[in-house]
Every structure is written in C-alpha cells, then in structure tokens.
Structure 1
C-alpha cells in the first residue's frame, strides 16, 4: 500500500471520533495509543493497534483486557509485565519487536491467530501449547539469542512457516517437528550452535525451502533427506556440510542448491560410492553454488558428464564455483544454454577462462591472482568483473560486447590495453583503478567515442580511475588551447556530438550524486584525494555555446579545507574525422555551502539513513547545473 493512501485512511478513521481515540477501530498515532493505554481506556471498538511507547512508560498486560475485538496488534516498543492471557481471542496477527519478557508463558492461547512474530534478546523460554493455535500458519521467533529450546511442535498441524533465525543458543530441534504435516518453509539461519537436524525432519513431505545458512556446527545432513520430495531450496552456506547424502538424487524439484566453499586447504569431499545414471534426478536445478570438488560429487547425482557438459543441468541459470581449485574450467559449459551467471571468485589457481556458454550475461572472477587470459566472451555479456587479478594481461577485443553495462578491472596492474571500448555504447560503469599500465589516451579517447556515438540513449556513465591516468591528458591539448566560458564555437557547426567534461580534485571520500541529470561521472578516491570527471549535457548539432555555470553543493563542516585542496578543470570534447579533441575552458563556478546539520534538524528519511549507518552529513553532495544557451538547428 502506498504511504499516502495508508495515511489518508488513518486520517479518515481519526476524524470519525477525533477527541475520543478509544472509540476508534484503529489506533496508530503514538499520542492516541499512549492516552488509551496509560488511562486504561481500552474498549471493544478497537480492532487494530500499533504501539510505540517510550522506554520509561511501564504498563501491565491488563490494559488489553477490555479490547475484546482486537484483531491486529503490532508492538514496536513497550515495557510491560503480567500474563498474556488478557490478549483478545480474536487476534489474527501479533507482532512484538524488542519483547522485554523473559518467558512467553503457557497461558498464551490464541485459537484464531494466523501470524505470531516475537523478537527479544531476553526471551529464554517459549511455553505455549501450539496444538491450541489451530489457525497458526507463521511462527517467527527471530533473534531470541537466549532461547535454548525450540517450541514443542506436537499437534501444530496448521503451521507452514516457522522461523528460528538467529536463535544462537539453540542446540537441537525436537523430534516433534515431524508433526508439521503442512510445513512449507523452515528457517534455521544463524543458529550457530545447532549441531544437527533430527531424522524426523525427513518426514515433512510438503517442505519446499530449508535454510541452514550460518549453522556452523552442522556437519552432515540426514541420510534420508531425499525423502523431502517437494524440496525446492536447500541453503547450506556457512555450515560444515561437505557433501550431500545419496538420497538427494531423488530431489527432482530442487531448483536452488547452495553449498559452502571448502576453504581449509581445499579439503576433499567425503568418498562416495557408485551411482547409476538411472537414479540421477537433479534435473530442475536453476541455481547451484558449490566448489568444483563438490560438483564432482554432484555430477553423479545430477547425471552430469563434466567433460562434455551434457546431463540434467540444462535448466541451470546461475553457477557459482567460487573457491574451486582448478587451473582452467574443467567442465564444458558451452552446452548450458540457459546459464546467465558464472561466478569464479577466489579461484586461487585459475589461469585461463575460455569456452563460455552462449547466453552468459554476468561473469565474475574477482581475486584470481594467477589469472592471465580471458577469451571467448559471448556477445550477450552485460557484467564483466575481474577485479584483483594482477597477472591479467590478455583480454579479448571488447568490440562485440555492445550490450555491456559494467566493466571492472580494479587492481589489474598488468593490463596493457583494452580494445574495443569505442563500441561499448551501453556502458554504465567502468573501474580501471590501479591499472596504471593502460594508456590514458587509448582508454579515455575510446570511451569518449562511445559517448559520441550513442548520444540519444546516454543517461550517465561512471568511471573510476587512478588520478594519474586522466588529469594530465585532459589538461593538455596541442591542437586547440585557451577557451573562455563565453567563447562562440563556430567550429561545432558540423559536429554531430559534443559534450562537456568537468574534472574536480578534492579531498572528500564519500559523495552522493543526483543521477536524474544527464551526465558521466568519473570518481577515484586515493588516500585523501579524489578525482571526479563528469560529462554533462550531451547534445547534438549546436552552433553556439555561450555560458556554462556549475553549482556545487556541499554538506560538510570542512569548507576551508575543501577550498584549499580542490582544483576545478573543464574542457569541451568533440570528434572530427575519427579523432577526439579536448578544448580547455573556464566555467563560472558557484559553490553553495551547507554547514553540518544538528540532530534537531535531522528528520524523516535523513534520520532513517543515519540509523542505517549512512554517513550522509560528512559527504559531498554534488548537484551540477549547466545552462547552455543559443542552440538552434
């Protein structure tokens, strides 16, 4: 629901009885809720209540006893004591964040409740008899870090989605979990002391999603896990699981399989016996994360020939082989016609990437220290990330990758040349920081050509480079020199594309840019300096360029440092007979300074951003404004 529609509805309800909130059906405003609860004015008219009270307000659960028709209760902050038996039997949803109670007592009995979600660091026990919750479908006891024992699931036949995520002291699950006949999702993520899954879990025929991520002490999965006939997702990342049990060959509906990397010296997987291809039914996999060592084991389960690529992985779209131990791709991926994403990060022995599938869109090979060559890139590629590959020297001509959006070669210090940049008309971001062996003229001129060739659809392009790769080249030009901001550029009459490049050197590390404007941004943070090169107002066929005004808005308390340590350089870029020319110019610069805001001035979205850790006030906010006058056909 849109916030405006929600607020309008709340206002309609408020105006029905503006001076007597206890007679309204919905109470959401903090002042009204406080008035009703503190004065014990609850009535049967109240059906919905959202509570956010100050920590110094202490109440007893008896304040709910008169709200006999309460159906939705959402508690975001409330200090309360007493029995939970006073809650309305009509409740359908109970959400309680930061619950201060140590024990959720057995007198909580809500026969019509559908969703129960309670979070609290103090909760040590959960005693309610779930058999009495005959309509309960969702039970979430998330981040109950002191909870040592899971609920007794006996008789909870309606429960479909229990979650014990983040219950870090939980050691085991009860055998009564087998009573959850309608279970669809089971979330045990971040239960880092959970040692094993009970064998009774294999009786849950309707289970579709099983999340074990972060259960570090789980070493093996139940031998009969393959009996979970409807299982579609198995997430065992950040566990100690090294292999799948043989029975998993029966998981014919499994679409997503995520196994942990074998980090400890690339330890080998547990020996396995012979499996005939007739038993291999992992034919629905779309997402597979497993190091190659595990994939060798999976090849038997999925009836996959690793040499030819033929087998039951024809639907695979996302293959994650991170932390694998091989020198080149040991399996033929060309036959995986549906594969769109290939991840090879942290393959420390990988030297060559080639023979890639025809429909691949995303290739990631970050931190492959021995990687030297990347070949056979398909024209469908959109993202190519090869950061931290210091030996990478041979990269194929990029001319055929006309749909490429993101190109990253950070810390590829041995890379000499990038061919075909002028054809990357759809490029949005390029990162070539610390690629100092690249020719500045080669890469920058070719990028400018790409911009000039595709002026109609260009919105923005972000370039991150080392500061020694651009500055000198932009500022020097032997063909044309000296151009003021009001210079009449008759030589542009016959040009099909012209744009402006602005380069700003400053000490700021974090910057936020309004991407609604048309432009190209170049950023490089290096120690306490930063290069920003931005292309603004890409236009065609002008006959006169009269005025450029740049507005820079700063939100920081370091005005003097910025003025002392900043340099602004601007030039016009155009192409003639295949050559790109740069003309230095001096725009009118307006710097608008905003002192750092106090806590009292921070409201709404800004406070929310601060709470989420966003350092917004110590950042630079650049809002360029260019006025180009006198243009005609």
Structure 2
C-alpha cells in the first residue's frame, strides 16, 4: 500500500515503535497511539480550519455527509470515511463521487451504492465497503491494492467479479462475513495477492484453488465451510499463516513451507496431519490425535482442542521455546509438564511457559506441581475434578489467575505469596469456604469471586493491605458471606458489585470510596441501611434492586454524576429525598416499591429517558409529577 503510493516510511515507523507510539503485532496489524492520531488530525485541520471539504482527509461522518450532500467534493480529498451505521441506509450514486478523483482511501459503511462507477474514483488504493446493501458491479479497481468487502450483500453471481479479476495490483482481498457467498471466488488472475481473508463466510463451502497464489503470505478461512485446498501449496514459499476451521485434509506439501509460522486447524472432524514445517511458531490443533511435534523446535504457542489422547510428557524436552500452552475441551486425565532427563536423573520441565490455560477438560483429575513454572504470568484453569493446585505459591511472577468450576477445590494455599498478581477470578468453586489473606497483593487491580456458595470470608481488603491498587471488586452470588472487611482503604476502587450476597448485613467503609463509579448490590436482602453516599461524587450507576430490607438511601440527592438509579423491589423504602438535583439521571426504576409514598423533584430531571413505575400502585397516587412524564 505504501510503496504503491510512493511512500517509504520504514525508518520513521521503526522510530515510532521504539518510542511506543505505534506497534505492529504478530499478525502485522498496525496500532497507533492516541497522541499520534490526534497530532495527525491537528495537522490536517490546519490545511483549512473553516472548510473541511478542502482538507486532504475527512474522517468525520458529519463533515463527509455534508460534503456529499452539498456537492462540495474536490480532488484535494485523499482519504474519506463515511459511516451511517446508526441510521437507515444512505443511497450513494456516482454523482456524489464524481469530483473526488484524488481519493486513495475510501471507507463506506452501511450504504447503498448504485450507478455507473466505471470512471469514478480512479486513484483508490484501499477500498473498504462494510455492511453495504448494494455494491456497483462496475466499480473501478484498476489501482486498488487492498479490497475489503465485509458483511455486505455480495453473491457468487455478482457481475463485479469480472472487474475484481482485472485488479492486477490487488494484494489483499478481505470478504469477512459475506454470508451470501456459497463458493470461493475465482481470483486466480490476481497473481500478486498476498492476503486472502474469507473468514466467517458461513455459507462458503467446497474446494478452493490456491496454486496461482505464489506470492501469498496469509490465508484465513476460519468460519467458512471450505473443506479442501487444491494445488501444490508447497510452492507458496512466502506463506506465513494459515487459519482454517473445516478442512478435512491438509495438502501434502505443507511440510515444505519453510516460512510458515502460524497454523490453525480448527475442525470438528479428525484431520490427518502430515509432517509439519519446522518453522512453526504458533500451532492450534483441534483433533482427537496429538500430532508429532518433536521437530517443531521454534514453537512458541501451542493450543490443543478436543484431544482424546494423553499429551506425551517428553515433548517438553524438544519444545524448549514454548511460551504459551492452551488445552481446551479435551478428555485428558492428567497433564505432565515435567519429565526425568536420562542424563543425570534430573527433571526437565516446560519452565519457559509464561501462559498456561486449561479449560473444560472434564476428565482431568490432577494437575502437575506448578512450582517449576517460575516464569508463568497467566494461569487460567477450568477443571471440574481437581481438588488442589500444588505449587501455586511458587508462581512469583503470576499476574493473572483464573480458576473456574473446580467443585472439589477446598483451598488456594499459596495465593498470599503472589505479590505481582493483578487480576484474580474465582468462580463456581462449591467447596471453597475462604481465601487466604490478600493483604500482600498490593498490585491487585481486579478481584472477582463469583458463585462460591460456601465462601464466608475474604481477608486482607482492609487497612492491612496498605496502598491498594484495586479498582474493580466483584463478589457475586456468594450467599454465605456475612461481613466484609472495612473497605475504606480501597482508595482507587471504581466498581463494586456485591449482587446476590444475601447474608451480607453491612458494607463498612462504603462512604469513603470517593472514586467509585458503579455500585451494584441487587438482591442483598439482609442489608437494611447504607451509610451516607453523598461523598461518592463520581457515582454513575447505583443498583439496589430487590434489597427488600433496605429502608432508606441517604445522600442520593447529592450524587450529581448519577445516571442510573435502579431500586425496583425495595419493599421497605418509604421515601426518597428530593432528587431534583440529579441533572444527569437518565434511568430511574422504582417498580414494586410498595411502601414508597413520595418521590419529589422529577419535574427537574431533564435528562431522564427511562422511568419505571408499574406495580408501584400504593405510591402512584401521591407522585404527582408522574402525570407529566
């Protein structure tokens, strides 16, 4: 794209990467820091501060539509983006684009394009049509390098395929989510193609011929029903990534792809895997059999799905560069991450792994001792039969830990030692009655404890934690929790959700959480009183739905940032203070508040959009402002 426009920014891009202002990920996607984006836009605005249509780049929908509707198009415009996804289809014809001969990048979203486009947009290099109801068949692609037609109404018999085949400069064709296509289009004449994306074309099926794409670098077919690749794939020497989901067999020549780094084989039926190229860095494999991995010495990421066989423990002797291991929906009974070395009887483990994910392995009964995984930073486990996690306390570098559905797990011994932990999620652990003290986890940013029905105690969230980093705290459906530590020291907390803690009687320190933006406490049926909330000046959402014993909400009238107040089913609340000062309130729900006798201040709530009143029959007669809403 850049070279075709006579741009050669390699050195500049490298400098920006070093300064962390842009980054290019493993899939060659380009990410820009907001500062760079804003700087670029400021430079463009200086081209003409009063007349946007005379600028080289127009990214604002309002400016773009005004230009087209007023016939102000001109050859100075090089980049144009039109997006009307929140309104009805807009019909665009060649008339609106006739004077826009300088456009190099055009993005059109949620439009209908009709008319004669054969001599329109002669200099477009990147054409992106997203969610378009109709696309002209004679669209000019002679100079187009990147063609994105995504989520659009395009069929096999679209007459525009003839024009696409004439696109001799095409390097990228992306048809993501074009669900009316039944077969892969014939693009064999586009010999310069480097990227083909037919992802999530759910009706696309059958065979795909690839023998003409000698320059291909990336092929993504995931979400389509293409079952076979025809042609000698081994001749495509620069191919780096293949992502498929329904292939019934792999081409025999795949082992000759010396540049292949990413291979994803996600198939619901068994796929016979031939010898794989030793250049692979990432492999995702869905099949009952474990392929031969011993020669894949460059492998860094490995994902197994639907495995029936055990994973040989000796593969870790060969996969010395492995950093990420994921095992999902597999029937393995054990996981061996350490083997005995023949040399001296010493143990050799996969200690280079930094991410270990084991999900929905319903027959896995025991986990290996994790103590040797000293570099692990991410651990996610969903193991129904596992009753202990050995070596957890030795994972000193762990930053993210998730444990789900471990119904027999009784303790998380060693959790208190994970001083670098930033995110902790514990869900549906039916036998877990308490957590170790969290007072040493000062870097913890998010804590979620969900549906742990016998958990009665969480220690270390009070002053003993010191300077806490916690911003999100969720304790949902933990029906046995009777009390919480004093939360007043959680100075950075922005979201608190204690919904479904039916035995919890009070929330100590709530009034001190001055940065709190969201307070969710629905179904807390034992709480009869809240502290004065008036200091929570940043609170936007307050949900006290079905707090049946709660009798009052002090300070709510001073919450000027409040946007949502949900209190349906609060059957013990008899009165609210004057809420006329809640200028930002958009939603108020007081349904089924059977004893509520008065709500004053509704006349002044100019931002109110949703008001729930039904079933509050005993209150409706006395709430005179309701009649005007």
1:386-441 Cα offsets, whole Å, 9 max, x none, are 2221111254343433323333332222224544544434334444444454453x
The TM-score normalised by the length of structure 2 is 0.67
Paired residue for 1:327, among 322, 333, 339? 333
Residue pairs, 1:511-590, within 5 angstroms:
518-519=492-493, 523-526=497-500, 550-551=535-536, 565=550
CA contact (8 A) 1:379 1:402 kept: no
Is 1:386 the equivalent of 2:403? Answer: yes
CA distance, structure 1, for counterparts of residue 75 and residue 129 of structure 2: 21
Where structure 2 has 5 or more consecutive residues not aligned to the other structure, the ranges are 1-33, 340-347, 515-531, 555-576, 588-608, 613-629
Q: For the structure 1 residues 152 and 596, does the alpha-carbon distance in structure 2 shift closer, same or farther, using more than 3 Å as the test?
A: same
Alignment-derived partner of residue 384 in structure 2: 369
Q: 1:344 to 1:62 in 2, by over 3 A?
A: same
Aligned partner of 2:624 in structure 1 is none
- Give the drift of 1:326: 3.3
Do residues 254 (structure 1) and 264 (structure 2) align? no
Shift of 1:468: 4.8
Do the aligned residues in 2 keep the contact of 1:325 with 1:348 (CA within 8 Å)? yes
Alignment deviations for residues 569-590 of structure 1 (CA, whole Å, 9 cap, x no partner): 9xxxxxxxxxxxxxxxxxxx99
Q: 1:81: which partner in 2?
A: 114
Q: Deviations over 1:225-262 (max 9, x none)?
A: 2222211111223x2253452221xx1121111123x6
- The verdict on how the C-alpha distance between 1:523 and 1:428 changes in structure 2, with shifts beyond 3 A counting, is same
Residue 121 (structure 1) aligned with residue 152 (structure 2)? yes
Question: Does residue 269 of the first structure (1) align with residue 289 of the second (2)?
Answer: yes
Output the CA distance in 2 between the equivalents of 1:457 and 1:318: 30
Question: Using a 3 Å threshold, how does the CA distance of structure 1 residues 82 and 350 change in structure 2: closer, same or farther?
Answer: same
What's the secondary structure of 2:211's corresponding residue?
helix
Matched, 1:317 2:328: no
Contact 2:134/2:154 (8 A) holds in 1:
yes
Does the CA contact (< 8 Å) of 1:55 and 1:79 recur in 2? no
Unaligned 5+ runs, structure 1: 263-267, 300-305, 475-498, 503-514, 540-546, 570-588, 599-615, 620-633
2:106 is paired with a residue whose SS is strand
1:225 aligns with 254
Q: Label 1:117 to 1:522 Cα distance change in 2 as closer, same or farther (>3 A).
A: closer
- CA drift at 1:522: 5.1
Residue of structure 2 equivalent to 1:492: none
Structure 1 CA distance for aligned equivalents of residues 329 and 241 of structure 2: 25
- Secondary structure of 1:194's counterpart equals strand
| Deviation of 1:68 (Å) | 3.3
Is residue 162 of structure 1 aligned with residue 196 of structure 2?
yes
Shift of residue 143, structure 1, vs aligned partner: 1.9
Contact kept? 1:283, 1:312, Cα under 8 Å:
yes
d(CA) in 2 for partners of 1:185 and 1:343?
Answer: 26
- Call closer, same or farther: CA 1:500–1:528 in 2, change over 3 Å: closer
Contact 1:59 1:80 in 2 (8 A): yes
TM-score with structure 1 setting the length: 0.67
* Residues in 1 aligned to 2:538 and 2:611: alpha-carbon distance in whole angstroms: 13
Q: Report the RMSD for the aligned CA atoms in angstroms.
A: 4.2
Tell me if the contact between 2:134 and 2:153 (Cα under 8 Å) persists in the aligned partners. yes
Question: CA separation in 2, counterparts of 1:256 and 1:409?
Answer: 29
The answer as to 2:446 corresponding to 1:414 is no
Q: Aligned with 1:288: secondary structure?
A: strand
1:239-293 Cα deviation digits (max 9, x unpaired): 2253452221xx1121111123x6xxxxx439x8xx8x9xx42111111111484
Alignment of 1:370-519 (within 5 A): 370-377=385-392, 378-380=394-396, 381-419=398-436, 421-440=438-457, 443-444=458-459, 446-448=460-462, 451-452=463-464, 454-456=465-467, 458-460=469-471, 462-464=473-475, 466=477, 468-472=479-483, 501=488, 518-519=492-493
* 2:265 alignment counterpart: 236
Change (3 A) 1:295 1:243: farther
* 8 Å CA contact 1:95, 1:117 repeated in 2: yes
2:353 aligned partner: 339
Query: SS of 1:365's equivalent?
Result: strand
Whether the aligned pair in 2 keeps the contact of 1:521 and 1:535 (CA below 8 Å) is no
SS at structure 2 position matched to 1:224: helix
